[in-house]
Amino acid sequence: MKEAPSDLSKESIIPRPVSVISSGEYFKLRPGTDVYIREDSEELKQIGQYLVDKLKLPTGFDVGLKVTDTKPHSGCFVLTTDASKSSLGEEGYEIAIDKRIIYLTAASPTGLFRGIQTIRQIMPVKIESAEMHEGPWVIPTGTITDYPDYSFRGAMLDVSRHFFGVEDVQRFTDMLAYYKMNMLHLHLSDDQGWRIEIKTWPNLTIHGGSTQVGGGKGGFYTQEQYSDIVQYAKERYITVVPEIDMPGHTNAALASYAELNCDGKARELYTGTNVGFSTLCTTSEITYKFIDDVIRELATLTPGPYMHIGGDESHVTKEEDYIPFINRVQDIVAKYGKQVIGWDEIALATLKPNTIAQCWANIKNANTAVGQGAKILMSPASKAYLDMQYDKSTKLGLHWAGYIEVDTGYMWDPATIVPGVGKNNIIGIEAPLWSETITSMEELEYMVFPRLPGYAEIGWTPAASRSWEEYKVRLGKHGERFKAMGIDFYPSAVVPWTGL
């Protein structure tokens, strides 16, 4: 065990920071440690308390939160927002560690929160334990300056094919936060289940939420539960992006309300895994009344700027119906003050200037979207899909887009995936987890880890500063951290795990 690490630049921080300079000594956390905040605001108190809570249990120290301008005593953390640090951007931060004190400074509270994740990662692994441990609690001294390359760095969870409850989603949110991701995309509706309560259309969840793939009991979030998820994410500076997939992937809605079908007949609930067989009736007015109600209620519950409208794999919607449908839905979303994201197929329609196309399969669609001035969210299935199997022996997952070993998932650059779609066309990256084969949190973790940290790094660290050979060593050291957090990860043979 390392008694006194003294080279900050050798710490395994993921995503890799912009700059780490070691000063060759070490800081030691002691029983009297406190977290100081310089401003008496609820937000700063919440961030300070988050750090206090992370430290308290594993160290057993009675860590306090102090709102004060006084000189900190030795062994403390000092958290400061400083508007003059605006060059760090909204999410950037600086950490200066000397033998006595750890100073965390950022232009905004978001940056402080991101910086706390770095502090967690340079603390001994046992800081992530749910039990109390003996010290020493030492950190090497030096300075870290850090900010992200892309502004949108996220993951998607499909809660429709298999339902995941509030606590599972919160645990997933904590995983994103640890790697400085800032977007949580929830795929809330699909053929197999409608998962968000809509008060004006109650049967969507009563009937449409009552099952899932394989015929299990499914489930849904009440509006209150959804708000709890949104709030939990917000406290971690993560924006929830809700998705209502349409006009395809709508069997659960079509089973709940007969009038949404062109033939006026309700469909049977569906518990298989086929795609592309369902469509809303795009030529009937009641469909748009339905969408207006759903988007209005969801927009009210969602403080973030985005509303994802799906739009993928609408194989049974005629193109001449699909295009006016997407155009009209974009207007509805705009009416409720939100910005549209849709899967790349929406590029067939006339995109609004601020609409974002999520590139998952069709390169031509990405070019068409960019040709209309739209921005691209990069989620190429063959690189970024968390439901793709690692290799032929993986029991969970699918492989229609190929196998994605941990190195394959890491070694790509969003700005060179689609010829003609460069960095200035791209807002960021997202790694989706589709859940046709994923039934529990253990299974989720096995597919998500250890790939998620790689996607977080692709979004945060410039391509020129990344290499698999260097990254795999840092990732190998995170295995112990996954273990301390109780994460069931895939112990890939391409990663040099240490301490397991």
Query: Active-site residues: which are they?
Result: 313
Shortest distance, CB of residue 295 to ligand TNX, whole angstroms? 19
Q: Which is nearer to ligand TNX, 177 or 269 (CB)?
A: 269
150 forms part of the interface with ligand TNX (CB under 6 A): no
313 forms part of the interface with ligand TNX (CB under 6 A): yes
360 forms part of the interface with ligand TNX (CB under 6 A): yes
Q: Which is nearer to ligand TNX, 94 or 387 (CB)?
A: 387
Shortest distance, CB of residue 217 to ligand TNX, whole angstroms? 20
343 forms part of the interface with ligand TNX (CB under 6 A): yes
Q: Which is nearer to ligand TNX, 48 or 242 (CB)?
A: 242
Q: Which is nearer to ligand TNX, 149 or 243 (CB)?
A: 243
Q: Which is nearer to ligand TNX, 117 or 365 (CB)?
A: 365
The residues, ordered by sequence, that sit 6+ positions from 413 with a Cβ below 8 Å of its Cβ are 458, 463
Report the distance separating Cα 258 and Cα 263, nearest Å.
8
Report the distance separating Cα 79 and Cα 35, nearest Å.
7
191 forms part of the interface with ligand TNX (CB under 6 A): no
Identify the residue among 11, 94, 146, 312 touching ligand TNX (CB under 6 A): 312
Q: Which is nearer to ligand TNX, 405 or 436 (CB)?
A: 436
Identify the residue among 398, 411, 415, 463 touching ligand TNX (CB under 6 A): 398
Site for ligand TNX in 418-447 (CB under 6 A): 434, 436
Shortest distance, CB of residue 362 to ligand TNX, whole angstroms? 10
Report the distance separating Cα 210 and Cα 217, nearest Å.
6
Site for ligand TNX in 258-277 (CB under 6 A): 275
Report the distance separating Cα 9 and Cα 20, nearest Å.
6
Q: How many CB atoms lie within 10 A of CB 41?
A: 13
Report the distance separating Cα 66 and Cα 77, nearest Å.
10
The residues, ordered by sequence, that sit 6+ positions from 400 with a Cβ below 8 Å of its Cβ are 381
Q: Sheet harboring 19-29: ordered strands across?
A: 19-29, 137-146, 93-97, 101-106, 76-81, 34-37, 64-67
Q: How many CB atoms lie within 10 A of CB 496?
A: 11
Which among 489, 427, 398 has a CA at the least distance from the CA of 452? Answer: 489
Identify the residue among 387, 445, 457, 480 touching ligand TNX (CB under 6 A): 387
Shortest distance, CB of residue 259 to ligand TNX, whole angstroms? 25
363 forms part of the interface with ligand TNX (CB under 6 A): no
Pairing of strands 152-158, 189-190: unpaired
**Beta bridge partners of residue 155, listed in sequence order:** 184, 431
Shortest distance, CB of residue 398 to ligand TNX, whole angstroms? 5
How many residues belong to the site for ligand TNX (CB under 6 A)? 10
Site string for ligand TNX, 193-232 (x = CB under 6 A): ----------------------------------------
Shortest distance, CB of residue 470 to ligand TNX, whole angstroms? 30
Shortest distance, CB of residue 463 to ligand TNX, whole angstroms? 24
Q: Strands (DSSP E) along 152-276, which ranges?
A: 152-158, 183-187, 189-190, 193-194, 239-246
Site for ligand TNX in 270-309 (CB under 6 A): 275
Site for ligand TNX in 117-136 (CB under 6 A): none
Shortest distance, CB of residue 313 to ligand TNX, whole angstroms? 5
Q: Which is nearer to ligand TNX, 144 or 438 (CB)?
A: 438
Report the distance separating Cα 91 and Cα 152, nearest Å.
11
User: Can you tell me whether residue 156 is helix, strand or coil?
Assistant: strand
Report the distance separating Cα 484 and Cα 499, nearest Å.
11
Report the distance separating Cα 466 and Cα 429, nearest Å.
16
Tokens representing 271 are: 């518990």
Tokens representing 373 are: 């001035």
Q: Which is nearer to ligand TNX, 284 or 382 (CB)?
A: 382
Pairing of strands 137-146, 93-97: antiparallel
Binding residues for ligand TNX (CB under 6 A): 275, 312-313, 343, 360, 385, 387, 398, 434, 436
